[in-house]
Amino acid sequence: MITYNVLLISEQKLKDNTPITDNVDSSELRFAIQQSQAIQIQETLGTNLYEKILQLVDTGDINLAGNANYKSLLDNYIQPTLIAYSYYLALDNFWVKFINIGLVQNRSEQGQPVDLKTLQYLKTNANNQAEFQDNLMRRHLIFRSGLYPEYNNGNLNDGQLPPDTNSAFKSPMTLPGNSYYWNSRNPDFNAMGPLCADSQFPTWYGKASNS
């Protein structure tokens, strides 16, 4: 697995698109960005496409005309999703801090720290926004997979992740018939109707082809 010391959004871009103020030290945000792209973005893209994007950004080739599809994916889908997930993770990082005597809750002269209930409310809202953006990206990748050869191709035997094509929305609710047993006997249908070609999505979700 190739690793790059590359951030797909800058700390300033995260500040510009969230309630995080400009006086926050950028180094405080780097961990949230790194974790979000290494986990959530890699899970959606799959390791092969994720590493392709990292490589193009690292070399600057992402801006070449021949890589316009990857640049569009980065600008229109990856970055909005990464901003939302990074903000979601950063909420935890700013609620408590590690210092040499242990964990402490942040305080300031300008205000009091939020309580746990308020933090949970903020995190739920942030997670909902992140999952919405993630779902848009997964939908785009499924119906435009032909634009990204690495999405469904490549060796996955060395710890790489395949792309996750399921909904990004996490819910304990299960729809009747939408199961492995159902799909194994009816591969072209799920509980929502006939599926698009090579897709987990029903035909009414987009069109009958994912190309």
> pTM above the 0.75 mark?
no
List the beta bridge partners of residue 190. 193
pLDDT in single tens digits along all 211 residues of the chain: 565 689 999 999 999 999 888 888 888 889 899 999 999 999 999 999 999 999 999 999 999 999 999 999 999 999 999 999 999 998 877 645 544 454 445 555 555 666 668 778 888 999 999 999 999 999 999 889 899 999 987 666 667 888 887 776 555 444 444 443 334 445 555 444 566 555 555 554 544 444 4
